[in-house]
Amino acid sequence: MTGYRGRIAPTPTGLMHLGHARTFLEAQRRAREADGKLFLRIEDLDQARCKSEFVDALKEDLAWAGLSWEPEVWVQSQRLASFREAWRRLREAGVIFPCSCSRKDVAEAARAPHEEGQEPLYPGTCREVEREFESERDALSINWRFRVPEAEVVAFEDGRLGPQRFVGQRDFGDFLVWRKDGFPSYELAVVSDDIAQGITEVVRGRDLLTSTARQLLLYRALGAASPAFFHCPLVVDTEGKRLAKRAGSMGLRELRARGVTVADALTKLSTS
């Protein structure tokens, strides 16, 4: 797999809005400028919220917005065997550990205060607890976290924002790679798929900068080269709030019904 390979990766939990369109169009622009390929990946691992009707709707809405992609569409829910293999490799390498803490437990015992919307630093409750499992099935029925090295600097050059620097156990702590419901975390699934697809550059919103730091540790642990990264500004509404899938008039379907193009709508919005 040679040449530029990019991807757009919507989650079918609702209808697409202008923020999605802006980021995905930027991904398409960069792929075309590099005479490369752009792939569509459906990230549908949230079984409670992802709906098949949203998959059809997002394909239709993104095509209306001017996006096109390679014929092969990847669907994460069809790739669980690959994610389990990545989990095995991390476990064998000793870089992950089982964790019985709930989100509430972590929030209440967090080592440092965190801002609203930010994930609290994991306090290390289960880090050194020895656990034995009767089978792999049992092992996969508990949360697993990645051991983030204390004070390790994770740095990378972002294609838009320039040099980025994060410090382990200060900017982010031990993070989930496997959930007790039998599915990988976002971090592990994304890295596993980007490796398998040979993605050379990831284009996404700047709200995922810290995720990039986490994912760089996973690439290293899995013995894979990491792609380049390009983090786009976020589209905000007239009140300066980040768009959400419930964003009403900012939704692609609503714009289409009103006869408003994506280009026209974007010129009237701000970014952050």
65 and 161 in a single domain? The answer is: no
Please tell me the predicted confidence (pLDDT) of residue 112: 55
Q: Same structural domain for residues 166 and 54?
A: no
What domain range includes position 216?
80-226
Residue 116 burial class via C-beta count within 10 angstroms: exposed 0-12, middle 13-18, buried 19 and up: exposed
The CATH number assigned to the domain holding 179 equals: 3.40.50.620
Query: What are 157's strand-pairing partners?
Result: 163
Q: What is the pLDDT of residue 136?
A: 95
pLDDT in the model for residue 139: 95
Is residue 238 domain-shared with residue 217, that is, in the same domain?
Answer: no
What pLDDT shows up at residue 239? 63
Same domain, 119 and 194: yes
pLDDT in tens, 19-49: 899 999 999 999 999 999 999 999 999 988 9
Position 209 scores a pLDDT of 97
Give the chain's length.
272
Co-location of 66 and 150 in the same domain: no
Whole-angstrom Cα Rg for the chain: 19
Residues 41 and 94 occupy one common structural domain: no
Same structural domain, 169 and 196: yes
The total of structural domains in the chain comes to: 2
The pLDDT value given to residue 115? 52
pLDDT of residue 234: 87
Rounded to whole angstroms, the maximal C-alpha distance in the chain is 60
Residues 68 and 133 both lie in one domain: no
Task: Give residue 114's pLDDT.
Answer: 52
C-alpha separations of 218 from 118, 171, 194, 213 in Å: 21, 16, 12, 9
232 token code pair: 């786009």
Residue 36, pLDDT score: 97
Shared domain for 65 and 12, answered yes or no, is: yes
Question: 171 and 244: one domain?
Answer: no
Separation of alpha carbons 182 and 143, rounded Å: 9
Complete edge-to-edge strand list for the sheet that includes strand 153-158: 162-167, 153-158, 228-232, 201-205
Domain shared by 85 and 25, yes or no: no
**What pLDDT score does 109 carry?**
76
Q: Which residues of the chain form beta strands (DSSP E)?
A: 5-8, 37-42, 73-75, 96-99, 143-146, 153-158, 162-167, 175-178, 201-205, 228-232, 235-236, 270-271
Of 193, 209, 226, the last residue of a domain is 226
pLDDT below 50 — which residues of the chain?
Answer: 116
Based on the domain organization, do 58 and 95 belong to the same domain?
A: no
